[in-house]
Amino acid sequence: MWDYSEKVKQHFLQPQHVGEIENPDLDATVGNIVCGDALRLMVRLDDQGRIRDAKFQTFGCASAIASSDALIELIRGKTIEEAEHITNDDIAAYLDGLPEAKMHCSVMGMEALQKAIARFRHQPFEDEDQGQVVCRCFGVTDKLIEKVVRAEGLETVEQVTHWTKAGGGCGGCHEKIQEIIDRVRAEAGPAPRGEAPAPSGMTNLQRIRRIEQAIEEEIRPVLHRDGGDVELVDVVDRQVQVTLSGTCAHCGVRGVTLRDLVEQRLRAKVDPDITVEGVAAHAAAE
């Protein structure tokens, strides 16, 4: 059984934004109802160009429905320019995390939003219009795989499947997916001058500095939105100790926050072998 957070359960069992908008200003459908999850996103703008209302229709699992509902919570009241910066990580963080195997549901929400904005601007949607289908079982293109591999720092075919569903059917595309992973990693090249080297050659001091940067730029802002915070306690090789504070300190899903937000972002931004352990505030003080 999937270890869903209370927020995922809430947005699945009692979604607030299911429905249809007649003649929406923005409208996009992603996925394929024949072979997997599908999502239609409809948006109405106000006179100032802000998102006044949005509705969704989703065919999929609990994570797909919850991610769709969460997406609308995140975009309401924003301008298109503000909304286009919302990522799948923001959706997952809003839900207090998703199981790794269900991260593709948050990606589907991000894709629907980006496609709707591209259509509104009369621009091609790169992932669909310019990409070539790699996974025919789920209709996933090379452009989407490349984008997610680059954004999330994915390194294995299994991770790509978790984030996009590509490769989760017959498996015939695994070789092509691995080629995309290898190409993206090769294009990234060595770290720019002045930055820490690749994880395999990173000193512990360099690792600590990158962990501190990731916490400050990638993790703390997400927790602040819900009144929480995180502090770095110690780093021993690849084991990171942190303490959660604010609303996160006594939250019933703090384990999910540690695993699906803190640990996943540190793995993506710093080192894929990092593990995160939560320690109590009094232990940190000692």
CB within 8 Å of 41: residues ≥ 6 apart: 26, 27, 28, 29, 54, 55, 56, 68, 71, 72, 109, 112, 113, 116
E-state strands within 94-213: 133-135, 140-141
Among residues 105, 135, 173, 248, the one annotated as catalytic is 105
User: Cα–Cα distance between 140 and 104 in angstroms, integer?
Assistant: 11
User: Cα–Cα distance between 51 and 83 in angstroms, integer?
Assistant: 9
| Cβ atoms within 10 Å of 203's Cβ, excluding its own | 10
The residue whose two tokens read 């990234």 is 188
By three-state DSSP, how is residue 158 classified? helix
Is 105 among the residues known to form the active site? Answer: yes
Phi, psi of 241 (to 5 degrees): -105, 130
User: Cα–Cα distance between 274 and 242 in angstroms, integer?
Assistant: 13
Check: CB of residue 160 under 8 Å from CB of residue 154.
yes
Give just the sign of the alpha carbon dihedral 93, 96, 102, 105. Answer: negative
Tokens of 99: 């199981």
User: Cα–Cα distance between 252 and 3 in angstroms, integer?
Assistant: 12
Active site residues: 35, 105
